[in-house]
Amino acid sequence: MIRVFTSARILDTGRGTDDATRVVDILVDGMKISRIAGHVDPPMGASVVDASRYLVTPGFVNAHGHLAMTLLRGLADEVSLDVWLHDYMFPRETLMNGDDIYYGSLLALAEGIMSGTTTFAEMYFFEDDVARAVNEAGVRANLSTGTASLDNERGKLEKSEEFVVRWNNKADGRIRTSFGPHAPYTASPEFIRENFERARDLGVIVQFHLHETRKEIEEFTATYGASPISYYADRGYFENPPRLLAAHCVHMTARDAEILRDAGASIALNVQSNLKLGSGIADYRLLLGSGVNLCVGTDGAASNDNLDMLEELRVLGLLMKGSTMDASGISNASLLAMATANGGRALGFDDVGTLSEGAAADLVFWDLEDESFCPRNNVVSHLLWSANSRAVDSVMVAGSWVMEHRQLLGIDIDKVRFEVARRARRLASG
Amino acid sequence: MIRVFTSARILDTGRGTDDATRVVDILVDGMKISRIAGHVDPPMGASVVDASRYLVTPGFVNAHGHLAMTLLRGLADEVSLDVWLHDYMFPRETLMNGDDIYYGSLLALAEGIMSGTTTFAEMYFFEDDVARAVNEAGVRANLSTGTASLDNERGKLEKSEEFVVRWNNKADGRIRTSFGPHAPYTASPEFIRENFERARDLGVIVQFHLHETRKEIEEFTATYGASPISYYADRGYFENPPRLLAAHCVHMTARDAEILRDAGASIALNVQSNLKLGSGIADYRLLLGSGVNLCVGTDGAASNDNLDMLEELRVLGLLMKGSTMDASGISNASLLAMATANGGRALGFDDVGTLSEGAAADLVFWDLEDESFCPRNNVVSHLLWSANSRAVDSVMVAGSWVMEHRQLLGIDIDKVRFEVARRARRLASG
């Protein structure tokens, strides 16, 4: 399929250097953007669409989350991470089956698409069912099985690896896979190291939670004599590491940040989850100055409580400015890059998150007639600080529509809502 | 007009005591809620509407803002308050005429209605034109003329007072008026005191900016030897004061909070504006424990950059939990009360912001079929932490629809967008 979008106002959030938008024609050939120019002559048989009403951006890359946690949305709003996890999440997660995960993931993907996300990081379980959902929904994702060493299940790492091999680069390359050792408080250092090694051997990334709360660091330090990052570094885990994606990193020293930077790691910031669970506020001056590749995730819907990346990005930007008392500390362009190109890089999709020739045709069409873009003083500013998902008109992934004029195409949303509702009732009743 | 809404799920955010919702019939007679019960027999001639699809809440009360600043949205994102005000806002404000203010205000009111707000605090200029907009839009508002003593215009206070008298309790009581001495850095202490006195004499409130930035307090202290609140208190301004509504109050000591509490003042928190302009993060442990009536405002769209109260409330709640590292420090019910009943009280509308018999029929109908409410584990939690304005279906003020099934009724939004766009172009070009 060849499509030409004419007179589209585009914003290449991947550049991160300035705020300018341009009005251009875009030629999408198959799964890629093949040409962007002031005028494109439509090839024979191309479908030509007037896009003058829209701001076209790369889709958001949600760099950390647990899709099927939509099932557990709203179960506990006023508790800290450890209570939330042990008293509310873990007990219900043991009751979940593969179909629960499938439908919960589809709801998450629908929410993501409706708010402009085209690529998802995922760490949960029954990942074959997640892969099935991602494949059908038509989106892009990097999937991992969340694994812990501190429980009784045997062979977890082997199963995780089998999943990695089974699904990597499937669904026309829309699915990548990764290892997902859960966190320093559920996975032993030795288990973390083994995950790093297998990931390096297979050329995939490792997703894990890191330095999320003070309690995590204090308890780890009490046992091992150093913080998780220091301990792993001192034992050489970061020498010749695989591509690492560390989620959270709320509590960091300058040395921690240097270690991650030198390891080429990315950090997925999850500001709403961290605030809501009382985990704290990161030192953004440190993180922004560290040179680490910063990206943005929503975390699961049970702690956020939605998968709206624009909302997440706005809160992150506000907090960066407010907590440092420096309104100029972060530019609009840098923030938008964090939610797009930086995330693509972190998840191993290097052609994702930018709007340029040869890049993936993962596009969001924002309706500039929405009141949030009025008056058009600065469209980039309005997108970042004023608009919300109401303005998302259409979404394309790898050259195919996943939502067209607010109608989801790959997901039967009525069925998904019905299934999620009845499954959530079962889980909530214990 | 008499209406009965049957089988509505309602949430009386005015109670602030628990999270329960009930399914009831609601009888609206004229401008008031006249009965709420498990079953209501429709009076002869009543219009009966099946509301089983909706969560019905009181409309939000936006307790601080400058409506027509929609015209200046997105002009400066990366500057501090003083630069933003002196270099970007003031120069353009001098170019505005009454019709600019009228159309800019209508756009703000439309945005507010579309995101569930029914009552607005306002401080700007050409307030007769704002009153015209409020009257036509059908909403409720407390309007003040922002006045400074540190400029050259004479008779400002007298004009402000004439406006107060001219419009108070007009538009079937939907419009209240107030005095609006701008801020400690633009209005002398003596001018502030005069405003307090006249407001007390006329029985209206005073809206003003207070303790917004460290710079404000430092410069005031350099001149007067104490912070604004201390200085005003030491000179007796808070003895027998009028009803006071102080906006911002980001930088407060325990004594400052006590003074405001003892004066019966309300504080309108504007967290997104304060973060975006780098003004800082309030000490929420102090504020929440102070006993002051806390309410929520968006501030103007030039620093927020929209008028979405649910977004504002969510960021406030997140920040309260995150900055104190205490997820249990604020309940869902208390947050929702801040954005409704507390605001009504602060603005002098004591029957607004609660959903009870005899209260104003200011109602928002949230579509429970929206994905953000799926699965329905806890509807109150989903409203506060998951939903956005996409779920606002219909809005009623004083018993009349201002938006019905997403169609604005009192505002010709296409005309408003056209007028705002061309006026903003004129202002932006200087």
- pLDDT at A316 (0 to 100): 98
Residues from chain A that touch B74, judged by Cβ atoms under 8 A, are 377-378, 381-382, 385-386
- pLDDT at A17 (0 to 100): 58
Nearest Cα neighbor of A284 from A239, A327, A319, A312 is A319
- pLDDT at A16 (0 to 100): 63
CB distance from B336 to chain A under 8 Å? no
CB contact under 8 Å between A318 and B315, yes or no, is: yes
CB distance from A18 to chain B under 8 Å? no
- pLDDT at B429 (0 to 100): 80
Other C-beta atoms lying within 10 Å of the C-beta of residue A348? 17
Cα B73 to Cα A373, B31, B45, B143, B397: the distances in Å are 9, 34, 46, 21, 27
Please state the rounded mean pLDDT for residues A160-176. Answer: 98
Residue of B nearest to A305 (CA): B386
Q: In DSSP terms, which residues pair with B181 in a beta bridge?
A: B147
CB contact under 8 Å between B80 and A306, yes or no, is: no
Residues from chain B that touch A428, judged by Cβ atoms under 8 A, are 377
- Residue type (1 letter), B407: Q
H-type helices in A213-308, by residue range? 214-224, 228-234, 254-262, 271-276, 284-289
- pLDDT at B233 (0 to 100): 98
Give the gap in angstroms from C-alpha A303 to the nearest C-alpha of chain B: 9
For the purposes of burial, counting CB atoms within 10 Å of the CB of B344, is it exposed (0-12), middle (13-18) or buried (19 or more)? buried
Residue of B nearest to A370 (CA): B417
Report CA torsion sign: A364, A370, A372, A373: positive
Give the gap in angstroms from C-alpha A251 to the nearest C-alpha of chain B: 12
Which residue among A332, A382, A428 places its CB closest to the CB of B73? Answer: A382
* Longest pairwise C-alpha distance within chain B: 68
For the cut 90, the answer to whether the pLDDT of residue A411 exceeds it is yes
Nearest Cα neighbor of A33 from A58, A54, A51 is A58
CATH 2.30.40.10 fits A2-58+361-408, yes or no: yes
Per-residue pLDDT of chain B (430 residues; tens, 9 = 90+): 999 999 999 998 876 655 578 999 999 999 999 999 999 999 999 999 999 999 999 999 999 999 999 999 999 999 999 999 999 999 999 999 999 999 999 999 999 999 999 999 999 999 999 999 999 999 999 999 999 987 666 789 999 999 999 999 999 999 999 999 999 999 999 999 999 999 999 999 999 999 999 999 999 999 999 999 999 999 999 999 999 999 999 999 999 999 999 999 999 999 999 999 999 999 999 999 999 999 999 999 999 999 999 999 999 999 999 999 999 999 999 999 999 999 999 999 999 999 999 999 999 999 999 999 999 999 999 999 999 999 999 999 999 999 999 999 999 999 999 999 999 999 988 6
Residues A387-398 have pLDDT tens digits of: 999 999 999 999
For the cut 90, the answer to whether the pLDDT of residue A151 exceeds it is no
* Sequence-ordered list of residues with C-beta below 8 angstroms from that of B311, at least 6 positions apart, any chain: A311, A388, B115, B272, B388
- Look up the CATH superfamily of A60-346: Metal-dependent hydrolases (3.20.20.140)
CB distance from A426 to chain B under 8 Å? no
- pLDDT at B18 (0 to 100): 57
CB distance from B254 to chain A under 8 Å? no
CB contact under 8 Å between B375 and A114, yes or no, is: no
* Mean pLDDT, rounded, of chain A: 96
Which token pair is A5?
């979008």
Which token pair is B94?
């001098």
DSSP letter string over B20-44? --EEEEEEEETTEEEEEES--PPPT
Alpha-carbon span A342 to A330, nearest angstrom: 15
Domain ranges within chain B, ordered by starting residue = 2-58+355-408, 60-346
Beta strand residue intervals within B32-139, DSSP E: 32-37, 47-50, 54-58, 60-62, 117-124
- pLDDT at A54 (0 to 100): 98
CB contact at 8 A, B199 and B179: yes
CB contact under 8 Å between B278 and A322, yes or no, is: yes
Which token pair is B301?
């769209």
Residue of B nearest to A19 (CA): B77
Rounded to the nearest 5°, which phi and psi values hold at A339? -90, 0
CB distance from B334 to chain A under 8 Å? no
For the cut 70, the answer to whether the pLDDT of residue A430 exceeds it is no
- pLDDT at B155 (0 to 100): 87
Which residue among A74, A318, A328 places its CB closest to the CB of B385? Answer: A74
- pLDDT at B152 (0 to 100): 62
Residues from chain A that touch B304, judged by Cβ atoms under 8 A, are 385-386
* CATH T-level topology, domain B2-58+355-408: Urease, subunit C; domain 1 (2.30.40)
CB distance from B243 to chain A under 8 Å? no
- pLDDT at B13 (0 to 100): 80
**Coil, strand, or helix at residue B176?**
strand
Other C-beta atoms lying within 10 Å of the C-beta of residue A41? 10
Residues from chain B that touch A417, judged by Cβ atoms under 8 A, are 369, 371, 374
Residue of B nearest to A325 (CA): B278
Which residue among A78, A318, A369 places its CB closest to the CB of B272? Answer: A318
CB distance from A291 to chain B under 8 Å? no
For the purposes of burial, counting CB atoms within 10 Å of the CB of B97, is it exposed (0-12), middle (13-18) or buried (19 or more)? exposed
Please state whether B240 falls in left (phi above 0), alpha (psi between -120 and 50) or beta: left
CB contact under 8 Å between B386 and A323, yes or no, is: no
